Amino acid sequence: MSRGESLPVARMKRAVSVAVVVLLVCLLLINSYCSARVSSIIRGVSSSSNGGSSVCRALALGGGGDRGAYEAGVLKYLEQVQYQVIGGISAGAINSVALSQYKIGDEKAAVAFILNKWLSLQKSQVYKDWPLGIAEGFLIKSGLFNTSPLHNFLTANVNVTKIRQSGRSLLLGATNLVTNSYERFDQFTDDLIEATRASSAVPGVFEAVPLTKNGKESLYVDGGAKYMTPVSDTIAECFRKTNASRVEVDVILAIGDLQFGSHDIFNKVQTTPFILLRTLFGVVDDIFTKDIENAQNAFGNRATIRVFKPSKWLPGYFLGFTDAAEMIQQGYQDAANVIKK
């Protein structure tokens, strides 16, 4: 621990370093899975979906820990857009359930709700240490941190009945550790709160979440362990849900802020954790890009994909939950720049 560095910050940095190694190994295995999954999704879309003349609007939200606040900033700029299908993974899953509580036409209230929650959210409402600390999380538990606070936060702020009555389709994704497969959850999932927590369970960092699906209980972690952004899922759901001839999908990538040149620390510090982080972010950026490219290639001119991502490095370290206001402002500005192009 360096001089002047608090014990909690030092412990957090050690935890993040351990988690980075785990995540890097997981992410290196994803690329081939994504292409196969998109092909499976396309086969499930009926050819009859070509018959309509309308446009279905969809939203796909990726992960990124506290960078979910950046997504909220983008949505603030897009608050007039009425999404019929909303899909999210990890932090994007939390934003998705929050949005989906509001009926189509109530976008302004939905965005105001999300902004308020991000501006007041503290890490103590998302996770906490195990009684024996990180050592217990690493050696005994299924994650470095206990996310029971997130369960309590979601229970207090998410109304499942409203989600089911909103008229929107909701899609979340989590990874089944028993079958090693990506699984979808929708607004009619029995335990939607825990499905959301499972989708947000970053492997190695947050504890795995037990869920019962089709009568079988399995442990689940972050959907991003298999499929980073639910672009193809949301497009396919639009065609299934409506008789639209085209889909317009907005994709928000909260951790697409990989402009290393704008963040000097990556160029000046060459320690193992920073080398691993730089490699990790490169892999993540490539996977995000391939998710979008696969969807565009699969659906062709039937789908228009608009991407929003950070134009510069965002503050903090993903698990701090202290810089929401700055990230919201950056998201709003980046969205404005994309729309004005």
- Domain presence at residue 16: no
Range of the domain at 127: 54-259+289-340
Q: Report phi then psi at 80, rounded to 5.
A: -90, -10
CATH number of the domain within which 152 lies: 3.40.1090.10
Alpha-carbon Rg for the chain in angstroms? 19
Helix (H, G, I), strand (E, B), or coil: what is residue 204?
strand
Number of domains present in the structure of the chain: 1
Residues in the chain: 341
H helix runs in 242-308, sequence order: 265-268, 272-299
Helix axes 68-77, 107-120, angle to 10 degrees: 150
Give yes or no: 129 in active site: no
Cβ burial, residue 251 (10 Å; 0-12/13-18/19+): buried
- Domain presence at residue 77: yes
- Domain presence at residue 254: yes
Give yes or no: 90 in active site: yes
Question: The whole model's pTM is what?
Answer: 0.82
- Domain presence at residue 10: no
Q: Which two tokens stand for residue 234?
A: 């949301």
Which is the catalytic residue, given 90, 96, 199, 200?
A: 90
- Domain presence at residue 33: no
Which is the catalytic residue, given 66, 100, 218, 222?
A: 222
- Give the span between the Cα atoms of 318 and 322, in whole angstroms: 10
- Give the span between the Cα atoms of 160 and 98, in whole angstroms: 10
- Give the span between the Cα atoms of 280 and 79, in whole angstroms: 32
Return the residue matching tokens 């134009």: 311
- Domain presence at residue 268: no
Closest CA to 77 of 306, 256, 304, 319: 306
pLDDT at 46: 42
- Domain presence at residue 22: no
Residues contacting residue 9 through CB under 8 Å, at least 6 positions apart: none
- Domain presence at residue 15: no
Q: Which two tokens stand for residue 118?
A: 């991000």
- pLDDT digits (tens), the chain, 341 positions: 545 555 555 555 555 555 544 554 454 444 444 444 444 444 444 444 444 559 999 999 998 899 999 999 999 999 999 999 999 999 999 999 999 999 999 999 999 999 999 999 999 999 999 999 999 999 999 999 999 999 999 999 999 999 999 999 999 999 999 998 999 999 999 999 999 999 999 999 999 999 998 888 999 999 876 777 889 999 999 999 998 999 999 999 987 655 444 455 555 556 666 666 666 666 666 666 777 888 888 898 999 999 999 998 898 888 999 999 999 999 999 999 999 87
H helix runs in the chain, sequence order: 7-27, 31-43, 68-77, 91-100, 107-120, 134-139, 148-157, 160-165, 192-199, 231-241, 265-268, 272-299, 324-340
